Chain A
Amino acid sequence: MSNRGDKPSDFDAFERLPERKEPTIGLRSSVKNISISSPTSPIGSPASPISPPIGVVRVYSNSESIDSLNQRMLQGNDKRFVEWPKLGFPDPEDPDLRRLEYAWKSKQGDKLELEAEKVWQEFLLNSNKVNNRQKQCQQLIRKHGIPSKYRPRVWMEIRGVDKKMKENEGYYDSILDVHKNTPCVSAEQIQLDLHRTFPQHPLFFENPVPTSGRSQMQRILTAYSWRNPHVSYCQSLNYIVGILLLHYSEEQSFWMLVSILEELLPANFYNPQLKGVRVDSRVLDEMLKDRLPKLHQHFFNCHIEVQTFCTGWFMRLFVDIFPLETTMRIWDLLFSEGSKVLFRTILAFLKISENDLLGCSHMGEMLHYLNAAPIRQYDYNILVKTCFSFYSLKRKNLEDARDRCTKIVEAEIRELQIRRDAARQRMMSMNMTIA
């Protein structure tokens, strides 16, 4: 059972924005202020690292799961379910990370979020659609990011997903309905990954009963597989859909996914050879050589191919690579400025970490650093500032680099195929000889 009983009038919520003090989050999304026993405390109030006081909790979720969320919160099980900046994820297991997270939130994070909320509230009160003031919106995103309460709406509008949904009303239901009796080629892999996606998050819990997030994720991934059989399903899309479902209804999440895969990222990014990811990994290697030559040489000296670690970063769009709020800040930029933000982010992170990495003396040490350091990058401000401060990245240059690297990757794919075919031939002739 899905929650796809669309009411077109919900779109009007966007249009009516100027009359509202607090805009709605998006189609069929709800914003509810739920008072929980403790006194009301604004987002910016300091909290204990062990049990942060909860006052007003904003719930951003779709109508299907809202009841169960409310119920859980009223039972006091998951009081922090949708509280900024964790969107319901539990505290990190590592006590060191817990300390870092708390320190960041209480010293800077809360303050920055409140500041951003003020600025955005004013901006949104004066804009029917954020796209009407695109340049200003882009500047705001660079400077403040999007506060989490406005994120669902702003992401949708800057990607034009609200419009796309309106134009394709009924599409999502029908694509699932048309194929309901046909086995999906990726069904097994999707099924395998459902219980392995954010198993620690209440929306995706298996026990005591499987929660709605899983069935929604299954339908979204299956629907996309039908929409684009060439890409079908690639592991990592489960994480992206997981994050979208924390912000949107099922159908909205589907259309956001469509926008990411078909407009934001190169078309072949997740194709069966992962061509686009491999191309972009090579492009990154070129950029690194150009912008941070000393570090590039050090990777080379330590026998590390940049592709070995950046592939997963690209594919996950940084989910679980950086802390959640840092990743969401990168997504703000990604939706606003396009896929070049992927390169900017990695280069900025490497720039910030350059001295530490140059201090690592061998491969193991460097890779350990690259495993452990990004998830400690709570300070998204420095990351974002570095993104736009130490080099320029022109769209045309990126396109040229992608064209150049596509040729190399295509040659690699051909070569590997030739080797695999030759080996198959050898095996066949050996079998014939034995027979």
Chain B
Amino acid sequence: MNDINPSAKPVSFKLVLLGESAVGKSSLVLRFVRGQFFEYQESTIGAAFLTQTVPLGDAVIKFEIWDTAGQERYKSLAPMYYRGAAAAIVVYDITNYDSFLRAKQWVKELQRQGNTNIVIALAGNKSDLSDKRKVDFSEASAYAEDNGILFLETSAKTAQNVNEIFVAIARKLPKDRPITDKNEIDNIIIPKVGDTRAEKPGKGCC
């Protein structure tokens, strides 16, 4: 992750993580962004925002990640976070079959309501707990294939396939970043006359 071509200007993409409570969404992101893992990861309230860059050939992809809360009632907030997202990782826990069913619902919702070209990846997390497995690899894999989405089993604990899933997404993203999403078009801002702040060269933050 550190070997980034300094001359390449990062292309930013919004990515959202969705999935049932305690399947390991935040752990996946923390492993990807900071290389850390905590056995007792605090539960996410609302959503957390993180970024990470991925070098990909000559290009540098910058993921702007919204890690959402998993409890059912937070579902009502989800559209705010997946609106205009270029990619989504829908996470389930391989030791919890219900979380797989919930993941399928999220995939459906994204396909219906999300960005038309959204790249969706399904992550069967906690692959280190395979002795407690309740979701067959083959079942999830077949589901992903039928729905034309990426699929990997991951482990935030051992880091297995964590970078890989983000890289796989990065490979599928359009590098020239065309605007295809209806919502995104709706959201284009026309700067007010006299507003000189619309575009300023990048500046270090906090």
Binding site for B on A (CB under 8 A): 189, 192-193, 195-199, 206, 234-236, 238-239, 271-274, 278, 297-298, 300-301, 303, 305, 307-309, 311-313, 315-316, 320, 356, 358-365, 367-373, 413, 416, 419-420, 423, 427
Choice from B47, B108, B192, B206 contacting A373 with Cβ under 8 Å:
B206
A316: chain B residues within 8 A (beta carbon): 45-46
Say yes or no for B73: interface residue by CB 8 A criterion: yes
B71 near A361: Cβ-Cβ < 8 Å? no
A305: chain B residues within 8 A (beta carbon): 80
B80 near A206: Cβ-Cβ < 8 Å? no
Chain B 78-116, CB-CB to A under 8 Å as 1, else 0, gives 011100100000000000000000000000110011000
B76 near A416: Cβ-Cβ < 8 Å? yes
B199: chain A residues within 8 A (beta carbon): 361
Given contacts A273-B73, A301-B198, 4 further A-B contacts (CB under 8 A): A238-B43, A272-B72, A301-B195, A362-B12
Closest chain A CB from B16 CB (angstroms)? 11
B73: chain A residues within 8 A (beta carbon): 234, 271-274
B195: chain A residues within 8 A (beta carbon): 297, 301
Residues facing A in B8-29 (CB within 8 A) are 12, 21-22
Say yes or no for B193: interface residue by CB 8 A criterion: no
Closest chain A CB from B202 CB (angstroms)? 6
A234: chain B residues within 8 A (beta carbon): 71, 73
Number of contacting residues on B, CB 8 A?
47
Given contacts A278-B76, A301-B191, A369-B205, whether A308 and B47 have CB atoms under 8 Å apart is: yes
CA distance A193 to B206 in the complex (A): 31
Say yes or no for B62: interface residue by CB 8 A criterion: yes
CA distance A356 to B203 in the complex (A): 11
Closest chain A CB from B96 CB (angstroms)? 10
Among B46, B64, B109: residue with most chain A CB under 10 A: B46
Binding site for A on B (CB under 8 A): 12, 21-22, 38, 40-43, 45-51, 62, 64, 66, 69, 71-74, 76-77, 79-81, 84, 108-109, 112-113, 187, 189, 191-192, 195, 197-203, 205-206
B113: chain A residues within 8 A (beta carbon): 419
B206: chain A residues within 8 A (beta carbon): 356, 368-369, 372-373
With both beta carbons as reference points, the residue of chain B lying nearest to A294 in the complex is identified as B197
With both beta carbons as reference points, the residue of chain B lying nearest to A188 in the complex is identified as B21
Given contacts A206-B40, A234-B73, A273-B73, whether A361 and B46 have CB atoms under 8 Å apart is: no
CA distance A427 to B189 in the complex (A): 36
Closest chain A CB from B34 CB (angstroms)? 11
B79 near A416: Cβ-Cβ < 8 Å? yes
B79: chain A residues within 8 A (beta carbon): 416
- Report whether over half of chain A's contact residues are helix, strand or loop; otherwise say mixed: helix
Choice from B71, B84, B109 contacting A189 with Cβ under 8 Å:
B71
A361: chain B residues within 8 A (beta carbon): 197, 199-203
6 contacts between A and B (CB under 8 A): A189-B71, A196-B40, A197-B42, A312-B46, A362-B202, A373-B206
Given contacts A195-B40, A235-B69, A364-B12, whether A309 and B49 have CB atoms under 8 Å apart is: yes
B21 near A192: Cβ-Cβ < 8 Å? yes
Choice from B12, B66, B71 contacting A235 with Cβ under 8 Å:
B71
Closest chain A CB from B81 CB (angstroms)? 7
With both beta carbons as reference points, the residue of chain A lying nearest to B198 in the complex is identified as A301
With both beta carbons as reference points, the residue of chain A lying nearest to B205 in the complex is identified as A365
CA distance A427 to B144 in the complex (A): 18
CA distance A320 to B44 in the complex (A): 11
B72: chain A residues within 8 A (beta carbon): 272
Choice from B40, B45, B108, B112 contacting A236 with Cβ under 8 Å:
B45
Closest chain B CB from A93 CB (angstroms)? 10
With both beta carbons as reference points, the residue of chain A lying nearest to B42 in the complex is identified as A196
Given contacts A189-B71, A235-B74, whether A307 and B80 have CB atoms under 8 Å apart is: yes
A413: chain B residues within 8 A (beta carbon): 76
Closest chain A CB from B25 CB (angstroms)? 12
A198: chain B residues within 8 A (beta carbon): 42
Given contacts A195-B40, A235-B45, A360-B203, whether A303 and B80 have CB atoms under 8 Å apart is: no
Q: State the 7 A-B residue pairs at the shortest beta-carbon distance, nearest first.
A: A312-B46, A199-B40, A361-B200, A311-B46, A365-B205, A367-B49, A372-B206
B47 near A312: Cβ-Cβ < 8 Å? yes
A360 near B205: Cβ-Cβ < 8 Å? yes
CA distance A131 to B102 in the complex (A): 50
Choice from A239, A303, A308 contacting B187 with Cβ under 8 Å:
A303
Choice from A272, A311, A364, A419 contacting B64 with Cβ under 8 Å:
A364
B47: chain A residues within 8 A (beta carbon): 308, 311-312
CA distance A303 to B184 in the complex (A): 10
B43 near A196: Cβ-Cβ < 8 Å? yes
Closest chain B CB from A142 CB (angstroms)? 28
With both beta carbons as reference points, the residue of chain B lying nearest to A205 in the complex is identified as B40
